Structure 1
Amino acid sequence: MGPLDGLRILDMTTVLMGPYATQILGDYGADVIKVEAPSGDLIRQIGPKRHEGMGPLFMNTNRSKRSVALDLKHPSGRESLMRLVEKADVLITNIRPKAMARLGLSWDALEPQNPRLIYAALVGFDQRGPYAARPAYDDLIQGGACIAHSFIRAGQQPSYVPAAIADRIVGMSAVNAILSAVIERTRSGHGQRVEVPMFETMLSMILGDHLGGLTFEPPMDEGGYSRHLSPDRRPYQTKDGYVCALIYNDGHWERFYRELGQPEMPAADPRFASFNARMAHIDEVYAELGRIMVTRTTREWLDLFDRADVPAMPMHSFKSVLEDPHLAATGFFQDVDHPTEGPMRQMAVPTTFSRTGAKPERLAPQLGADGPAVLAEAGFDPKEIAALVDAGVLTLPKEA
Structure 2
Amino acid sequence: MTHSGPLSGVRVIDLTAMVMGPYCTQIMADMGADVIKIEPPAGDNTRYISVGPRPGMAGVFVNVNRGKRSVVLDLRSPAGAAALRELVVDADVFIHSMRGKAIDRLGFGYEAVAALNPSVVYTNCYGYSRRGPDADLTAYDDTIQAECGIPYAQEQLTGEASYVGTIMADKVAGLTALYATMMALFHRERTGEGQEVEVAMFETMAAFMLVEHANGAMFSPALGPAVYPRAVAPNRRPHRTSDGYISVLVYNDKQWSAFVNAVKPPWAGEHLATLEQRARQIDTVYALLGETFREHTTQYWLDLLRSLDVPAAPVRSLDDLFDNPHLNSVGFFETVDTDDGPVRFPGTPAWFSRTPGRVAGPAPRLGAHTREVLDGRPGTAEERPVTRATRATRVARADGG
Cα contact 1:244–1:312 (8 A) shared by 2: yes
Distance 1:269 1:240 in 2: 31
Q: Report percent identity of matched pairs.
A: 42
Match of 1:49 in 2: 52
Match of 1:61 in 2: 64
Match of 2:167 in 1: 164
Distance 1:2 1:374 in 2: 21
Match of 1:366 in 2: 365
Match of 1:375 in 2: 374
Match of 1:355 in 2: 354
Distance 2:250 2:135 in 1: 44
TM-score, L = length of structure 1: 0.91
Alignment RMSD, CA only?
1.5
What 5-or-longer segments of structure 1 have no aligned partner? 380-400
Post-superposition CA distance 1:127-167 (Å, at most 9, x none): 11100111111111111111111122224211111211000
1:147-296 residue pairs with structure 2 within 5 A? 147-261=150-264, 266=268, 268-270=269-271, 272-296=272-296
Letter of the structure 2 residue corresponding to residue 49 of structure 1 = G
Letter of the structure 2 residue corresponding to residue 355 of structure 1 = R
| Deviation for aligned residue 1:239 | 1.3
Cα contact 2:30–2:359 (8 A) shared by 1: yes
Tell me, what secondary structure is at the counterpart of 2:344? strand
Distance 2:72 2:197 in 1: 25
Distance 2:59 2:262 in 1: 45
Tell me, what secondary structure is at the counterpart of 2:295? coil
Letter of the structure 1 residue corresponding to residue 323 of structure 2 = E
Match of 2:333 in 1: 333
Match of 2:324 in 1: 324
Distance 2:212 2:82 in 1: 47
Match of 1:343 in 2: 342
Match of 1:80 in 2: 83
Letter of the structure 2 residue corresponding to residue 280 of structure 1 = R
2:35 is the counterpart of 1:32: yes
Distance 1:369 1:49 in 2: 18
Distance 2:5 2:300 in 1: 43
Distance 1:179 1:76 in 2: 31
Distance 1:126 1:71 in 2: 26
| Deviation for aligned residue 1:261 | 4.6
Q: 2:144 aligns with which of 110, 117, 141?
A: 141
Cα contact 1:90–1:118 (8 A) shared by 2: yes
Match of 2:74 in 1: 71
| Deviation for aligned residue 1:285 | 0.1
Distance 1:378 1:101 in 2: 29
Post-superposition CA distance 1:292-324 (Å, at most 9, x none): 111111111111111111111111101122221
Distance 1:332 1:188 in 2: 36
| Deviation for aligned residue 1:378 | 6.8
- Number of aligned residue pairs: 375
Match of 1:12 in 2: 15
TM-score, L = length of structure 2: 0.91
Distance 2:225 2:192 in 1: 47
Distance 1:224 1:377 in 2: 54
Cα contact 2:337–2:362 (8 A) shared by 1: no
Task: Sort the Cα spacing of 1:71 and 1:40 in 2 relative to 1 into closer, same or farther, 3 A.
Answer: same
Match of 2:128 in 1: 125
Letter of the structure 2 residue corresponding to residue 317 of structure 1 = S
Post-superposition CA distance 1:74-124 (Å, at most 9, x none): 110000000000010100000111111111111111111111111100111
Cα contact 2:128–2:203 (8 A) shared by 1: yes
| Deviation for aligned residue 1:228 | 0.3
Distance 1:45 1:294 in 2: 44
Cα contact 2:334–2:359 (8 A) shared by 1: no
| Deviation for aligned residue 1:367 | 0.7
| Deviation for aligned residue 1:36 | 0.6
Which consecutive segments of 4 or more residues in structure 1 shift more than 4 A? none
Cα contact 2:180–2:197 (8 A) shared by 1: yes
Tell me, what secondary structure is at the counterpart of 1:33? strand
Cα contact 1:257–1:265 (8 A) shared by 2: no
Distance 1:307 1:17 in 2: 40
Post-superposition CA distance 1:186-208 (Å, at most 9, x none): 23322111111111111011011
Tell me, what secondary structure is at the counterpart of 1:345? strand
